[in-house]
Structure 1
């Protein structure tokens, strides 16, 4: 039996198991990731964040001295990016004096992301360019169907802007939404359902690829704001998004976004891995 040291953290209740593996000496199998994320048999989490020096990641061709966020979904699948995860990742590295300074770059499968640590304990992540595809998709859930917007935040999203009369709370996200055409997302997607509160204030629920419904999704919040801003013509500005796990803010400037919110470490421990 293998044992691994970990911390548990969350950003607006989007929770993660964080493991520091500087030299990439402790790779995790899909089964091990699923075990760690199991809320009964393991630690519990929406995913695993493994901190590895970028020089040890074969596909990375950037700065070798950055910390690389090797993110895995709860089902063991690899994800390109995780907005809430970047903040928890950075918080733990800072707490352990593995990074220093108010602004720090980290490496992800979606590229370099800059973290800014604020005096109130929140962390902001420069999420880079947000891409909106002009070709919509159809999203289906529980016998209902909507037009969805395809958004790239380093990972894929389908954003549904609900009509004012539709109740966000009544959606059954224990069931995975589907979409058409299926080939729009050959590797699956995150699906966000959004209700407008006012021009710069939204509410969102999400079904995450590889995790199911989660209390929050940072990249989903960014995708939501970009879609709303484009659809209404509001454009640049600061937007608040309420998710079941709390509140996040997005500053939109052109096609770039900065996501800001809390990042909390709640436990340290040692976990067993299955034989």
Structure 2
């Protein structure tokens, strides 16, 4: 390991180790990632983000096609994201906000203009926004244009059946129907009837999804709040998540988007398109606009760490 210094940050308690490597000189094999994200023997985090220039990654010994596309689209920086188990991931909604905040704090990006961030899920435009009224936060809020989403089973009976898979979860008595949402990374969303069920779900063990996705999936469990005041403009839901390659995390940005999209699907055409998603780590906002979605939430850098050994 040649990495000398790292930064720790989080978005709604979804935490990351950030490695500043603009020229792509560091070696980030799976063992290095696991070591740095280990909560007892390393820095600790749900994932690792390498801050690298898009052009450098595109021209590296193992070129990343998405980085070349990002560079061509004008995204100077690329979020090279790894799960805590060392596996490469397409996208991370909370990670993108932390990444953009890092660029702003290090004066590598101008916060007065949209910040283009390259990811394996496409280029994301990030802007600084105000937090929703009454939603206190310790850091600035960032709005991420997450791009297009899709439901893989749409048009294949999903509208009639309301689900395309079933999920078996420790702590819940029976398998539950679920719907798949593709946010550039895979999600499976399960609706529960009450907060008691959400609390009872034991996410220490990986849920069993049938049919089993070939590359795994993130599984979200949601409870939609009843519309007590008749205001259909904003929906509210509670969410917990088991992330592939990580386990349960305090929050998941793409998972929050997938959850809001699934809730809108189940609510029908008259359902809200603006959602507040409450997770153990905090609240984010999801805005649905046709086949595109945006995510807003806080981002915080908490520490700089100097590594003393491998």
Instruction: Give the TM-score, by structure 1 length.
Output: 0.94
- Selected match of 1:109 from 115, 120, 143: 120
Residue of structure 2 in register with 1:161 after alignment:
191
Residue of structure 1 in register with 2:83 after alignment:
73
Query: Does structure 1 residue 131 correspond to structure 2 residue 161?
Result: no
Partner-residue secondary structure (3-state), 1:99: coil
Query: Does structure 1 residue 82 correspond to structure 2 residue 117?
Result: no
CA contact (8 A) 2:126 2:143 kept: yes
Counterparts of 1:107 and 1:208, CA distance in 2: 22
Query: Does structure 1 residue 122 correspond to structure 2 residue 144?
Result: no
CA contact (8 A) 1:176 1:212 kept: yes
The alpha carbon displacement at 1:256 in A equals 1.0
- Selected match of 1:170 from 175, 178, 200: 200
Counterparts of 2:27 and 2:51, CA distance in 1: 11
Counterparts of 1:18 and 1:148, CA distance in 2: 34
Counterparts of 2:240 and 2:104, CA distance in 1: 30
Partner-residue secondary structure (3-state), 1:22: coil
Query: Does structure 1 residue 206 correspond to structure 2 residue 241?
Result: yes
Partner-residue secondary structure (3-state), 1:132: coil
Instruction: Give the TM-score, by structure 2 length.
Output: 0.84
Residue of structure 2 in register with 1:62 after alignment:
69
Counterparts of 2:205 and 2:23, CA distance in 1: 39
Unaligned runs of 5+ in 1: none
The alpha carbon displacement at 1:53 in A equals 0.7
Counterparts of 2:271 and 2:226, CA distance in 1: 14
Query: Does structure 1 residue 243 correspond to structure 2 residue 258?
Result: no
Worse-superposed segment, 206-215 or 97-106: 97-106
Aligned length: 272
Q: 1:69 to 1:165 in 2, by over 3 A?
A: closer
Counterparts of 1:15 and 1:139, CA distance in 2: 26
Counterparts of 1:4 and 1:187, CA distance in 2: 33
- Selected match of 1:231 from 245, 262, 266: 266
Counterparts of 1:205 and 1:273, CA distance in 2: 36
Matches within 5 A, 1:233-272: 233=268, 234-235=270-271, 237-272=273-308
Worse-superposed segment, 97-106 or 161-170: 161-170
Counterparts of 1:111 and 1:28, CA distance in 2: 21
Query: Does structure 1 residue 190 correspond to structure 2 residue 190?
Result: no
Deviations 1:36-80 (A, max 9, x none): 000110000000010111112222332425200000000000000
Q: 1:228 to 1:119 in 2, by over 3 A?
A: closer
> Computing the radius of gyration over CA atoms, which structure comes out larger, 1 or 2?
2
More strand by share: 1
Matches within 5 A, 1:21-40: 21-40=21-40
CA contact (8 A) 1:43 1:271 kept: no
The alpha carbon displacement at 1:19 in A equals 1.1
Q: State the Cα RMSD in Å.
A: 1.6
Deviations 1:225-244 (A, max 9, x none): 00100111145521101000
Query: Does structure 1 residue 149 correspond to structure 2 residue 179?
Result: yes
The alpha carbon displacement at 1:13 in A equals 0.3
Partner-residue secondary structure (3-state), 1:198: coil
Residue of structure 1 in register with 2:43 after alignment:
43
Partner-residue secondary structure (3-state), 1:157: strand
CA contact (8 A) 1:203 1:241 kept: yes
Q: 1:158 to 1:63 in 2, by over 3 A?
A: closer
Worse-superposed segment, 236-245 or 129-138: 129-138
